Structure 1
Amino acid sequence: MSQSTQPLAQTRGVAELLDSLVASDGTGAHPHVRSGALSNGPDAMRNLADAVHFLCLLHGRYPGVIDNAARKTVDAATRQWMGQAAEAFAHERAFLTKIASAVGPVPSTQGQAQCEAAVAAQRKAIDMLAESDRNGCAVGAAIALTLDWRTIRVLLDISAQRLDLAPPTCTLPDLRDTARLAASVAETPAVERAMVFGAQQLITQHSGLWDLMAARAASRLHP
């Protein structure tokens, strides 16, 4: 009996671990996002516009994290989740691009070229995660993206509403399906560690992006 229940406990644990990681270190926990700089005050729209443009640099091109991770997938259950996630994120990319077009040019900020270079390096880092041959790493990164994107999508919806654009329905896999996927993939401690590593690194890149957005917002206030 103990042998039959251990995998369930282990895999339930990895789903909760990924949720906890995103909750504690993801977009919603970042001081710049929590400060209201993107949702309140006279500079909110400019800060949002900045974030939208840089999110485009990070996630606006195809293939993205999920597309690359999907190519590493071999089992049927993971392929199904990846297929749904990739199709949904294609719609998210289109929505992101539409907002970036409507919101106008990138707000004038010192060090623009260096900022773009920094985000290009972040993009390369997450591409490497999604193309990793380490079993579980790419799936962990893809799961973390879908989880953290829920908060990012709130910011995009705020931008869209201020631009009189109708936000489309987000069709990314729901939390239950995502937890089930995490449970099925984490067959061994090594795979679980790889999943957590992939997720941590993806969230680290998102946190770095929000650090950059906070620095740019401060620079515009105090040029």
Structure 2
Amino acid sequence: MMISNAVTQIEPSSAWDALVRLGAADGSAAHPHIHRLTSGGPAQRNLSDAVHAVCAIHCHHPGMIADVLAHAVHPEATGWLTVVAAGFADERAYLAQLTAAVGPLPSTPGQAESESALVGERHALEMLARSERTGCATGAVAALIHDWASVRRVLDAAADRFGVETPPSTFPPASETAAAIASLGASPGRERAILFGAQQLFAQHRGLWSLLEARSSARGDL
């Protein structure tokens, strides 16, 4: 029997690959409240609450991606960030339309504490966007775009429930983002910075879903 001496070449893991693994473990997709909200039968108040909370975090101006561009700590990322910023502007317009459609914030015990927590999350994202560590803010934006697929599932569930048309995403193709982050994180130092920023973004989103889960429980909607 002939035995081949050929050695299979295994591509090294890129910064994007590592970010995706982080997202699978620590991002929104792994949070149980996401599954409740997108299961087809959540209480309407839960969807309304989620839309208002995501709007509170991501609809302020100039916003996280604009902050990253303005600080320009990672000049090589500017081209990709500019395209992503345009796509996220469309997502914010969709989110603003949804927020108007879902009606007022549902009455929930501990509202003042919830508002304080949301302000804290928004401040944490602002600090990430303004990080002076090259690659950190880029990683946070990459994680935001990756995690937005799960956020979008919640927004689309709310759109279906409240009769809002669901627009297509205008983010660059995932393959372009994967290639950009792999290139931007090619050195070990840049990869570490990108993954640190990504980890922090995932942690903030995870905290958001935990807050919404607690609010749902307080209303008796779980």
Indicate conservation of the 8 Å contact 1:27/1:210, yes or no.
yes
* Corresponding residue for residue 111 of structure 1: 110
Q: Which has the higher helix share?
A: 1
Indicate conservation of the 8 Å contact 1:32/1:210, yes or no.
yes
* Corresponding residue for residue 14 of structure 2: 13
Q: CA deviation at 1:68?
A: 1.4
1:131 equivalent in alignment to 2:127:
no
User: Identity over aligned residues, as a percent?
Assistant: 43
* Corresponding residue for residue 209 of structure 1: 208
1:41 equivalent in alignment to 2:41:
yes
1:50 equivalent in alignment to 2:46:
no
Alignment of structure 1 residues 35-184 onto 2, 5 Å: 36-41=36-41, 43=43, 45-71=44-70, 72=72, 73-75=74-76, 78-184=77-183
Indicate conservation of the 8 Å contact 1:67/1:86, yes or no.
yes
Instruction: Find the aligned partners of 1:202 and 1:63 in 2 and give their Cα distance.
Output: 18
Q: CA deviation at 1:37?
A: 4.2
> What SS does structure 2 have at the residue aligned with 1:166?
coil
Alignment of structure 1 residues 12-31 onto 2, 5 Å: 12-31=13-32
Indicate conservation of the 8 Å contact 1:52/1:100, yes or no.
yes
Indicate conservation of the 8 Å contact 1:89/1:172, yes or no.
yes
> What SS does structure 1 have at the residue aligned with 2:61?
coil
Indicate conservation of the 8 Å contact 1:65/1:141, yes or no.
no
Residue ranges of structure 1 left out of the alignment (5+ in a row): none
Q: Which amino acid aligns with 1:137?
A: C
Indicate conservation of the 8 Å contact 2:140/2:194, yes or no.
yes
Instruction: Find the aligned partners of 1:190 and 1:26 in 2 and give their Cα distance.
Output: 23
Instruction: Find the aligned partners of 1:54 and 1:122 in 2 and give their Cα distance.
Output: 11
Indicate conservation of the 8 Å contact 2:52/2:105, yes or no.
yes
Instruction: Find the aligned partners of 2:65 and 2:189 in 1 and give their Cα distance.
Output: 21
Instruction: Find the aligned partners of 1:74 and 1:208 in 2 and give their Cα distance.
Output: 30
Indicate conservation of the 8 Å contact 2:37/2:157, yes or no.
no
Indicate conservation of the 8 Å contact 2:136/2:198, yes or no.
yes
**Partner deviation per Cα, 1:160-192 (whole Å, 9 max, x = no partner):** 122211111111122111111111111321111
Q: Which amino acid aligns with 1:140?
A: G
Q: CA deviation at 1:113?
A: 1.1
Residue ranges of structure 2 left out of the alignment (5+ in a row): 1-8
Instruction: Find the aligned partners of 1:31 and 1:160 in 2 and give their Cα distance.
Output: 20
Indicate conservation of the 8 Å contact 1:38/1:47, yes or no.
no
Q: CA deviation at 1:122?
A: 0.7
Instruction: Find the aligned partners of 1:33 and 1:217 in 2 and give their Cα distance.
Output: 12
Larger Rg: 2
* Corresponding residue for residue 3 of structure 2: none
Q: Which amino acid aligns with 1:120?
A: V
* Corresponding residue for residue 189 of structure 2: 190
Instruction: Find the aligned partners of 1:139 and 1:93 in 2 and give their Cα distance.
Output: 19
Q: CA RMSD in A?
A: 1.8
TM-score normalised to structure 2 length: 0.90
Indicate conservation of the 8 Å contact 2:28/2:147, yes or no.
yes
Q: CA deviation at 1:38?
A: 4.7
